[in-house]
């Protein structure tokens, strides 16, 4: 389907890269997502649209290894053992203004959906979809249409709505008794850290950058203090909060420190957070879902306004991620009463 001039303008403003530098402006993320949910009872949507019931094999989670927002969903899907229930489509690390593409697959087409661009699944449902074609996205396989790209809700629903299909020994990532505290921590982590690095990188003025920089590192100092005496962010087991922080920390030295000018300290120079991040990285479901090469390719090639040469740096050295972290001394039980996930045989 041909793009209208208006659609092209919107997709440039709300790029799949997530941002552009606008001179003199503070970076503001567009958070208007497709809010449909996949639920146990398949309740109708807000405007009376048909509901989306939980159903094994019906949906495909489309992600990119490079994207921190999509990375959350791959971690949670794996920790809960939903690999055989929700299939996984993986886009390549780079894209143009139109869409993420399936250039890693044979014939540059997703083998299940049969499409070259994620854009096609969005347009199948919304022919004039005016916003960015973002990952993660859940696609209804029978219709080939996008269901939702609401990344904060996707992982929560994996924990709460898909319980029937959780693997034996799956951890409780969003336990009811801790939800208020998890939500509070997640709110600050999102505004100051997850999105804070983007506010630094895409600041359009010195003042906007300075403000974002100080907010980011104030929050990282707060997290360091919190994690100095406890192994995980909330409670004594891994929760949704740890997943959300990890996907930013694991990208910090590779891209955010230099590319986004978040350069007061490297992660490796923040002892508590560096040990915490290594602890998670070495936990099944976390480090084995990381692809540093694709992460760097995405940021340094796609963000041409920040890196017009598109040169991808060779560093930093990744070997330190496997070094001893000493966090076991704080106690805690990574999976609570559960067990670690096994590595999926068919997914890298």
Largest distance between two CA atoms of the chain: 59
* Total number of residues shown for the chain: 348
* Other C-beta atoms lying within 10 Å of the C-beta of residue 342: 12
- Classify 224 as helix, strand or coil: helix
Residue 274 and residue 271: Cα distance in Å, rounded?
5
| Active-site hit among 67, 91, 200, 262 | 67
Residue 65 and residue 102: Cα distance in Å, rounded?
12
- Nearest CA to 96 out of 114, 112, 119, 66 is that of 119
Residue 108 and residue 97: Cα distance in Å, rounded?
18
Q: What one-character DSSP code corresponds to residue 100?
A: B
Residue 25 and residue 250: Cα distance in Å, rounded?
28
Which single residue is written with the structure tokens 């921590």? Answer: 185
H or E stretch at 257? none
| Active-site hit among 20, 174, 198, 213 | 198
Residue 322 and residue 340: Cα distance in Å, rounded?
18
Tokens of 62: 């489309």
Q: Note if 91 is an active site residue.
A: no
Q: Is 100 one of the annotated binding-site residues?
A: yes
Q: Is 304 left (phi over 0), alpha (psi -120 to 50) or beta?
A: alpha
Q: Note if 67 is an active site residue.
A: yes
Residue 280 and residue 213: Cα distance in Å, rounded?
25
**Binding site membership: which residues?**
100
Which residues are marked as active site? 67, 198
**Binding site membership for glutathione: which residues?**
100
């Amino acid at each position: 389907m041909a793009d209208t001039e208006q659609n092209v303008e919107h997709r440039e403003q709300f790029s799949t890269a997530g941002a552009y530098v606008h001179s003199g402006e503070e970076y503001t993320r567009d958070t208007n997502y497709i809010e449909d949910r996949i639920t146990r009872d398949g309740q109708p949507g807000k405007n009376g649209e048909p509901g989306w019931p939980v159903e094994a094999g019906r949906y495909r989670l489309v992600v990119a290894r490079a994207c921190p927002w999509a990375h959350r969903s791959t971690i949670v899907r794996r920790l809960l053992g939903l690999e055989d229930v929700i299939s996984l489509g993986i886009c390549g690390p780079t894209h143009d203004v139109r869409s993420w593409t399936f250039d890693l697959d044979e014939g540059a087409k997703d083998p299940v959906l049969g499409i070259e661009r994620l854009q096609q699944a969005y347009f199948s449902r919304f022919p004039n979809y005016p916003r960015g074609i973002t990952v993660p996205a859940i696609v209804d396989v029978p219709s080939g249409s996008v269901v939702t790209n609401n990344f904060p809700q996707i992982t929560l629903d994996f924990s709460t709505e898909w319980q029937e299909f959780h693997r034996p020994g799956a951890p409780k990532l969003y336990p009811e008794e801790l939800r208020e505290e998890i939500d509070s921590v997640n709110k600050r982590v999102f505004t100051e850290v997850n999105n804070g690095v983007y506010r630094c990188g895409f600041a359009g003025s010195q003042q906007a950058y300075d403000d974002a920089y100080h907010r980011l590192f104030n929050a990282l100092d707060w997290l360091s203090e919190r994690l100095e005496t406890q192994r995980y962010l909330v409670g004594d087991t891994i929760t949704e909060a740890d997943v959300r922080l990890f996907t930013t920390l694991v990208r910090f030295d590779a891209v955010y420190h230099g590319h986004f000018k978040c350069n007061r300290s490297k992660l490796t120079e923040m002892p508590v957070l560096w040990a915490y991040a290594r602890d998670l990285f070495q936990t099944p479901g976390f480090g084995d879902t990381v692809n540093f090469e694709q992460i760097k390719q995405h940021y340094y090639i796609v963000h041409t306004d920040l890196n017009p040469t598109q040169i991808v740096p060779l560093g930093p050295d990744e070997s330190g991620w496997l070094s001893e972290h000493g966090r076991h001394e704080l106690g805690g039980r990574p999976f609570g009463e559960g067990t670690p996930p096994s590595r999926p045989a068919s997914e890298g």
